[in-house]
Amino acid sequence: MADEVAGEFDYDVLVIGSGPGGYVAAIRAAQLGLKTACAESRETLGGTCLNVGCIPSKAMLHASEYFDAAKNGMMAKLGIKVTPELDLDAMHGQRREAVKGLTGGIEYLFKKNKVTWLKGRAHFEDARKVTVGEQTVTAKNVVIATGSSVTPLPGVTVDQKVVVDSTGALELPKVPEHMVVIGGGVIGLELGSVWRRLGAKVTCVEFLDQILPGFDGDVRKEANKIFKKQGIEFKLSTTVTGVAVEGDKAVLTVEPAAGGEASTIEADCVLVSIGRRPNTDGLGLEAIGLAPNKRGQIETDHDFRTSVDGVWAIGDVIPGPMLAHKAEDEGIAVAENIAGQHGIVNHAIIPSVVYTWPEIAGVGLTEEAAKEKGEVKVGKFPMLGNSRAKTNHEPDGFVKIIADAKTDRVLGVWAIAVPAGTMIAQAAQAMEFGATSEDIAYTCHAHPTHSEAIKEAAMAVRGKPIHV
């Protein structure tokens, strides 16, 4: 198939964007025998995730977790006396090394799989002709995987010095005295945690009445309690109406979201993290008659086809959670669909993880959403009852399983636990196989592991956990 098409077009598949959606799509397409190119305007491959997102944030979270453990008493609890000294340059250095290693790794994988990297910004001339930098190429199929960028806050200028977005917050040259995080979502909590651990006072201003929208209600409340205990101050139901910068200080004007008297907060660093928006500017979508929806996203069908023949889209630029693993799975599926196979992504079972301490994870429906669909049974098990968590001095959190009251089928699993991000994989897999809570309760889990809390929560659905 590839050879037959290659005569007519320069490529069978051109992927625009090399984030986790785009690079995975390109590699999978090449593995399936399609002549593939990937256009990327950044200096390095890997998109937001590898360059300024998942990977560098986890590098800072991991390193700052050790510092926090040494500084704030966890090491002492374990009988280890240490007086830590922060070497922020070295911490940033190991972050940059991690990014360099992994982005270089994608370049290696492109070479290995014979994917051509077309360097430069891409825009459509027509549905099968795309200009990338100085050159114009043709492709039988074009996959838009251009990702997303930070949503700006009207009236607030990000200068990457005093007012930063997530990219600036990864690079701060010194620990701020007072960081104000605008938005109590995933980025605000992860990067707020990094700088709190390294010594900053952190205040989080959230427009809604609770942090982490989209997560289960119990989880949101408990997470808020845990972060408060760690020292983050929250101003919920509060909106930022202005940020004035003078020299190296900022003054934020905040108001109750419901209206009322304004007040001010002083800070030496402001992180704007109120969400991300799809990247479609400058792509020339008008040249192919493709209009984004009201939220700026490109709509596709279940197979990731857009309304324009030969043009497909995946990742952050299409509807759904803006997550790297969702983009990756869509990358594999779109390549398989282009090759005439049956690529499928089950959007009902995409785990979400916040990589704080403890981690916060969930998959499937929240209790609130499940109850809207019908009667449910809920089992909850506290980490305090889990022998491994207790031994490790990690008492915070719980696992919660929501099952259909009639069929017992698991509808959602939520966890706050130090390794919740790893634990949630078994829940996703069980749900993918249509497991009931009984199936999980009667699956042997190794002891002593945090994952036993999942088994116990499943037993709690039937009212019979052992260790509480």
Kindly state whether residue 419 participates in binding ligand NAI, applying the rule CB under 6 A. Answer: no
- Applying the rule CB under 6 A, the residues between 205 and 234 that interact with ligand NAI are 205-208, 213
Q: Shortest approach of ligand FAD to residue 299 CB, angstroms?
A: 15
Query: How near is the Cβ of 18 to ligand FAD at its closest, in Å?
Result: 6
Minimum CB distance to ligand FAD smaller for 24 or for 69: 24
Residue with tokens 């922060």: 86
Part of the chain binding ligand NAI (CB under 6 A), chosen from 14-22, 270-278, 342-350, 456-464: 270-278
Q: How far is the CB of 215 from ligand FAD (least distance, A)?
A: 14
| Residue 237: both structure tokens together | 């139901």
- Residue choice 98, 240, 376, 389 for contact with ligand NAI (CB under 6 A): 240
Nearest approach, Cβ of 375 to ligand FAD (angstroms)?
32
The one of ligand FAD, ligand NAI, none whose footprint includes residue 431, by CB under 5 to 8 A per kind, is: none
> Residue from 130, 164, 187, 271 that binds ligand NAI (CB under 6 A)?
187
Q: Give yes or no for residue 323 binding ligand NAI (CB under 6 A).
A: yes
One-letter identity of residue 164: V
Binding site for ligand FAD (CB under 6 A): 16-22, 39-42, 47-49, 53-54, 57, 121-122, 145-148, 166, 187, 279, 282-283, 315-316, 322-325, 327, 355
Choosing among ligand FAD, ligand NAI, none, which partner's interface includes residue 49 (Cβ < 5 to 8 Å by kind)?
ligand FAD
> Could you tell me the smallest distance in angstroms from the CB atom of residue 52 to ligand FAD?
6
From ligand NAI, ligand FAD, none, which one binds at residue 397 (CB under 5 to 8 Å depending on kind)? none
Closest CA to 151 of 313, 276, 256, 64: 276
What residue 460 binds from ligand FAD, ligand NAI, none (CB within 5 to 8 A, per partner kind)? none
Mapped to the 3 state alphabet, what secondary structure does the chain carry? CHHHHHCCCCEEEEEECCCHHHHHHHHHHHHCCCCEEEEECCCCCCHHHHHHCHHHHHHHHHHHHHHHHHHCCHHHHCCCCCCCCCCHHHHHHHHHHHHHHHHHHHHHHHHHHCCEEEECCEEEEECCEEEECCEEEEEEEEEECCCEEECCCCCCCCCCCCEECHHHHCCCCCCCCEEEEECCCHHHHHHHHHHHHCCCEEEEECCCCCCCCCCCHHHHHHHHHHHHHHCCEEECCEEEEEEEEECCEEEEEEEECCCCCCEEEEECEEEECCCEEECCCCCCHHHHCCCCCCCCCCCCCCCCECCCCCEEECHHHCCCCCCHHHHHHHHHHHHHHHCCCCCCCCCCCCCEEECCCCEEEEEECCHHHHHHHCCEEEEEEEHHHCHHHHHCCCCCCEEEEEEECCCCEEEEEEEEECCHHHHHHHHHHHHHCCCEHHHHHCCCCCCCCCCHHHHHHHHHHCCCCCCC
Nearer to ligand NAI, 92 or 276 (CB): 276
Nearest approach, Cβ of 76 to ligand FAD (angstroms)?
Answer: 30
Closest CA to 297 of 323, 326, 314, 317: 317
Q: Which residues are catalytic?
A: 447
Q: Does 322 bind ligand NAI (CB under 6 A)?
A: yes
Closer of 275 and 292 to ligand NAI (Cβ): 275
Stretch that binds ligand NAI, among 9-17, 35-43, 181-189, 307-315 (CB under 6 A): 181-189
With CB under 6 A, what is the number of residues at the site for ligand NAI?
26
- 122 makes contact, choosing from ligand NAI, ligand FAD, none, with CB < 5 to 8 Å by partner type, with ligand FAD
Report which residue's Cβ sits closest to ligand FAD: 147
Altogether, the residues listed in the chain come to a count of 468
The residue among 325, 322, 330 whose CA lies nearest residue 306 is 330
- For ligand FAD, the closer CB: 254 or 290: 290
* Binding residue (CB under 6 A) for ligand NAI from 267, 353, 389, 435: 353
Cα dihedral 414, 420, 425, 430 sign? negative
Partner in contact with 116, chosen from ligand FAD, ligand NAI, none, beta carbon below 5 to 8 Å by kind = none
Q: Check residue 367 for interaction with ligand NAI (CB under 6 A).
A: no
What minimum distance in Å lies between the beta carbon of 22 and ligand NAI?
17
Distance CA 198, CA 393 (A): 21
Q: Whose Cβ is closer to ligand FAD: residue 179's or residue 283's?
A: 283
Stretch of 94-102, 315-323, 395-403, 447-455 lying at the interface with ligand NAI (CB under 6 A): 315-323
169 binds ligand NAI (CB under 6 A): no
Tell me the Cα Rg of the chain: 24
- Using CB under 6 A as the binding rule, the residues of this chain from 139 to 168 that contact ligand NAI are 153
Amino acid at position 215, single letter: F
- Residue ranges that bind ligand NAI, judged by CB under 6 A: 153, 182-188, 190, 205-208, 213, 239-240, 273-276, 321-323, 353-355
